[in-house]
Structure 1
Amino acid sequence: MTAPEGQEGLEAQLAQWRQYVQRRRELQPADADELEDHLRGSVDELVAVGLSADEAFLVAVKRMGSLDELSREFAREHSERLWKQLVLTGDTSSPAAGKRPPRDLLVMVGCAAGAAVSIKVPALFGISMQHDGEFYALNFSLFAMPWLAGFLAWRRRASAALIAVLVALFALGAVAANIYPLGDESQSVVLTTIHLPIALWLVVGLAYVADEWRSSRKRMDFIRFTGEWFVYFVLIALGGGVLTAFMFGTFEAIGIVPETFVSQWLIPCGAMAGVVVAGWLVEAKQGVVENIAPVLTRLFTPLFTAVLLAFLVAIIWTSNGINVEREALILFDLLLVVVLGLLLYSLSARDPLAPPGLFDRLQLAMVVSALAIDVLVLIEITGRIADYGTTPNKAAALGENVILLANLAWSAWLLLKFLRRRGQFAALERWQTNYLPVYAAWAWIVVFVFPPLFSYA
C-alpha cells in the first residue's frame, strides 16, 4: 500500500469512527472533536514507530481507555472487519442508552409549534387557503423550514455569523416567493413552487453542517439526514392519514362533520409541525432508521434499474420520441432525481472500505441507464427549442438536465474506476458532496432570474 492510499484509507476509517461516536447523544460535537484529536495523535505515534496506518488505527482505538465500552459497541457493528478480534474483549454487556436532555425535546416542541402557527399567520391578513392557493404554493416551504433550521442550528451551537446567514437566506427566499407579479397561468409559479423548497432545503443543510460547511464528511452526513428525514416524514404522514380517517368516522357517527377543521387546521398545521418532528426523530433515533433506509435503498435500486432498462428497450423497440410537454418534463426530471437520490443515499450508508460488489455493479447499470435517458430528453428539448422557441419550463428543464448529465456522467466514470479497482470509493463521495452547491445555485437562479427573464410568463 502506498502512502497516499494508506492515508486515504485511514481518513475513511476515522470518518467512520467519528460518525459512530456522534450517534451517542450524550457526546457533544466538541467532545467528538476532542476524541478525534486524541485518536489521531495516537495513530501518528504508532505510525512513527513502524505500524501501518490500518494497524495503528485499530491499536489506537483499542487504547481509548475510558471509551472501551464505546469501542466494544463499534466492534459489534463492524464485526466483518478485524474489530471483533482486536477490540471486542472483556465485558460485552451493552450500556444503558443515554437519555436525551429534556431541553432538546422542549426546543423541538417550540419549533414544531412555531411551524404549525406560521402557516395560519397569513389568515390574520385575509389570506386564506381556500381562495389564495397560489400564495400558499409559493410560500409553503417558508412556514416550516426556517423552524427546522433553527432547531438544527441550536443543536449544533451555530455561531452568530452563521445564524445571520441563515436568516438572510430565508428572507431572500421570502422575497423571491412574493416580489414578482406572477399570474395564475404563469409557468414561473410552478417553477418557483418546485425550486424554492430545493434552495431552502440546502439552507437547512447549512444549519445542519454549521461551522463545518466545507467538510465533505459533514455534507455526506446531511445527505444521510435527508434520506432519514424523508422516511420519518412519510411515516408521520401515514400516521396522520390514519388519525384523520378515524376522526372523520367517529365524529360523523355523532352527526358532526369535521371537514373544515381537518382541511384548514389539522392537515396544514400537522404537516408543518411534522417537518420539524421528523428532523428531531432523525437526531434522536438514528440507530433505528439506519436499519430501515439502507434496506429501502437496496430494495428500490434494482427495481428502478429494471424500469429504466425497460424504458430504453421500449424506446428502441417502438422508435417513439419522448414527449417534452411540462408534465412529462417534470416526470423525467423527478425520475432522474430519484435515481440520483438512490445513489446518494446508498453512498452515505456504504462502508467506504468495503471492496466493490454486485450492488455496486447494479448501481452503475442504474446510473448509465439514467444517463442515456437524460441524453434522449436533452436531444428532444433542444430540438423543440430550436423549432418553437424557448419557454420557462423548457429552459429550466434544459438547465436541470445538463446539471444532472454532468453529475451522472462523472459518477458513472468514478463508479467504473472503483469497480475496476483503479479508483477509491472516497472519490465518488467527494464528487457528490462537492456538487451540492451546483444544485443550490441553479435553484436560486430559477427562482430569482427566470421570472423577469421571461417577462413573468
Structure 2
Amino acid sequence: MTAPEGQDELEAQFTQWRHYVQRRPELRQSDAEELEDHLRGSVDELVAVGLRADEAFLVAVKRMGGLDELSREFAREHSERLWKQLVLTGEPDGPARDTGQRRVLIAMVICAAGAAVSVKVPELFGVSIEQGDAFYGLNLSLFTLPWLAAFLAWRRRAAPGLIGVLVALFALGAVAANVYRLADDSQSLVLTCIHLPIALWFVVGLAYVSDDVRSSRRQMDFIRFTGEWFVYLALITSGGGVLVAFVFGTFTAIGIVPEVFVQQWLLPCGGVAAVVVAAWLVEAKQSVVENMAPVLARLFTPLFTAVLLAFLVAFGWTSAGIDVEREALILFDLLLVVVLGLLLYSLSARDPLAPPGLFDKLQLALVVSALAIDVLVLLEIAGRISEYGTTPNKAAALGENVILLVNLAWSVWLVLGFIRRRTPFVALERWQTGYLPVYAAWAWVVALVFPPLFDYL
C-alpha cells in the first residue's frame, strides 16, 4: 500500500518542526507531543477543506506561532520556558525564567566544584598528581565525566532507572581503569587511557538523551553538543592559559613563585571544572539558531577535502608505503574521525527539506577520499599483522578502521543516493545516529577485554 500523495513530504516537514521544538531543553517531551498533536489536528482540518498538505502545514504553523489561542495559553502556563519566546514575542520573561536560570547555574557550580574536589581526593591516599601519572591518566575521565553526566541528567529530569544505569556504567569504567595491573610501558595502558574516556563519553551521551533515549534527533543533538562542548572547552583552555601567565607574572613580580599552586591546584582543579562549565555554556545558548560547530564544519570541509585528495595523489605518485607504527595509526584514525565529524556536524545544521547542492557533492568527495585512505591503512595493518603478528595497538587500530570503513562505505552510498534524489536525507542522518552504539561498544571492548586478552602487554 502506497502512501498518499504528498504524505512523505508532510512527514518530513513534521520531522523538521519536531527537531526545532525538541532542541529547546525548557520544553518537556510531553509538551512537544501535545503541541504536535494540536498541529497535526490543524493540518488535517485544513486538508479537509481543500488545501494541499504542504500549504496546510505552513498555514497551521503560522497560526500556532501567531494568533492561535491554545499556543498562547500553553505559553502563559509555562512562562519560564523558551516556548514563550516562540509564541509570545514582545512580552517580558518575568522572574520565573530568571529563577530557572539561577537554579541551572547553581547546579553547574555544584557539579564543577564536585569535579574539582574529586581530582584532589587521591592525594588523601598518597597519590599525588606529580607522582601518579599512570593513575591519573587512567582515571582522569572518572573525575570529570560523572559530574558532567549528573548535570545533564538533572537538566533532563532523568528517570531513576536510567540514573542507575549511568551509575553502573561509570562503576564499570572504574573497574576497567583500576582492576588490571598494567606496566607503565604497556600498550594496554595507552589503549585504556585513550578508549575509556571515549566509552564514558557515550555514557554522558546517554545522560544527554535521557529525556528521549530512542529519538535519533536527540542523538544528533548530542553529536552537535559534543562539537559545541569541544569548541567551548578549547576557548576556556586558551583563557586559562592567559590566566596562568598572569598569575605567574604578577606574583613573581613581588617575589612569590606560585609554581606549586598552579601545578597542584589551579591547573588540575580548573581543568576538570572546565569540562562541566563548557557543557553549561552549550546548554545556555541552545536558543541560538546557528551553532558554532556546524559553521566550522562547513568552513573546514573543503580544506580537508583538498588535503585528503592531495595525500591520495602523492601516495599514488610516490608509491611509498604507509608507516603503521603507533603514532601514525593514531594520526590516521584521528584524521578519519575528523572527517566523520565534519560530515556529522554538516548534517546536523542542514535543512532536511533542502534539495542537494554543491556542498553535498563536496561532502561526497570528502567521504570517498577518507574511505580510500581507510582502505590503504587497513591493507597496511593486515600486511604487518600477517608478517609480524598482532599487538594490542595493531588489533585496536584494525578494529577501529574496520568500524570506520563500514560507516564511511555506507555513508558514501547514502550521500550518492541523496545527490541523485533516490535516498531521503533522513536516511543518512539515521544511519549516523544509529551507528553510535558501535563506537561505544568497541571502546568498551578495548578498555575491558584487550588487557587480559593480550596478557596485559
What's the TM-score, normalizing by structure 1? 0.91
Instruction: Please give the alpha-carbon distance, in whole angstroms, between the structure 1 residues aligned to 2:432 and 2:291.
Output: 23
Who is 2:306 aligned against? Answer: 306
Give the deviation of 1:453 after TM superposition: 0.4
Instruction: Give the structure 2 partner of residue 200 of structure 1.
Output: 200
For the pair 1:421 / 2:421, whether they are aligned, the reply is: yes
Partner Cα distance (2:5, 2:336) in 1: 33
Q: Deviations over 1:356-402 (max 9, x none)?
A: 11111111110000000000000000000000000000000000000
Looking at structure 1, the residues matched to 27 and 228 of structure 2 have their Cα atoms a distance apart, in angstroms, of: 21
Render the CA deviation track for 1:223-281: whole Å, top value 9, x for unaligned. 11111111111111111111111111111111111111111111111111111111111
The farther-off stretch of 14-23 and 219-228 is 14-23
- Contact preservation (8 Å) 2:231, 2:293: yes
TM-score (normalizing by structure 2): 0.91
Q: Structure 2 matches for 1:249-398, cutoff 5 A?
A: 249-288=249-288, 290-398=290-398
Q: CA deviation at 1:213?
A: 1.4
Distance 1:331 1:95, change over 3 A: farther
Change (3 A) 1:195 1:6: farther
Distance 1:96 1:415, change over 3 A: farther
2:244 aligned residue: 244
Q: Which moved more, 1:327-336 or 1:10-19?
A: 10-19
TM-superposed deviation, 1:95: 5.1
C-alpha separation in 2, matches of 1:292 and 1:12 = 25
- Tell me if the contact between 1:195 and 1:444 (Cα under 8 Å) persists in the aligned partners: yes
Structure 1 residues not aligned, in runs of 5+: 72-90
Q: Secondary structure at the match of 1:278?
A: helix
| Superimposed CA distance per residue, residues 77-122 of structure 1 (whole angstroms, 9 cap, x where no aligned partner) | xxxxxxxxxxxxxx99655565443111111110111111111111
Moved more, 91-100 or 29-38: 91-100
For 1:313, give the aligned amino acid: V
* Counterpart residue number, 2:82: none
2:215 paired residue number: 215
Distance 1:452 1:210 in 2: 33
Give 2:419's aligned amino acid: L
SS in 2 for 1:340: helix
Which residue number corresponds to residue 10 of structure 2? 10
Q: Post-superposition shift, 1:50?
A: 4.6
Give CA deviations for 1:397-428 in whole Å, capped at 9, x if unaligned. 00000000000000011000111111111100
Residue equivalent to 1:402: 402
2:437 equivalent in structure 1? 437
Asked if the contact 1:21–1:32 (Cα under 8 Å) also holds between the matched residues in 2, the reply is yes
**Secondary structure of the equivalent of 1:101?**
helix
Distance 2:379 2:365 in 1: 21
- Counterpart Cα distance in 1 of 2:50 and 2:437: 41
Distance in 2 (alpha carbons) for counterparts of 1:118 and 1:252: 29
Contact 1:25 1:284 in 2 (8 A): no
Listed as ranges, the gaps of 5+ residues in structure 2 are 76-86
| 1:26/1:395 CA distance change after superposition, 3 Å | closer
Q: Secondary structure at the match of 2:158?
A: coil
Secondary structure in 2 aligned to 1:210? Answer: coil
Give the letter for the 1:272 counterpart.
Answer: V
Corresponding residue for residue 35 of structure 2: 35
User: Which residue type is aligned with residue 292 of structure 2?
Assistant: I
Distance in 2, matches of 1:59 and 1:289, equals: 22
Residues of 2 paired with 1:158 and 1:6: CA distance? 37
Answer yes or no: is the 8 Å Cα contact 1:228–1:289 preserved in 2: no
**Structure 1 residue matching 2:435: 3-state secondary structure:** helix
Distance 1:376 1:143, change over 3 A: same
Cα distance between partner residues in 1 of 2:324 and 2:74:
54
Look up the match of 1:231.
231
Structure-to-structure mapping, 1:112-131, within 5 angstroms: 112-131=112-131
CA separation in 2, counterparts of 1:168 and 1:377? 36
Shift, 1:299, TM fit: 1.1
CA 313–124 in structure 1, closer or farther in 2 if over 3 Å, else same: same
Percent of matched pairs sharing the same residue: 76
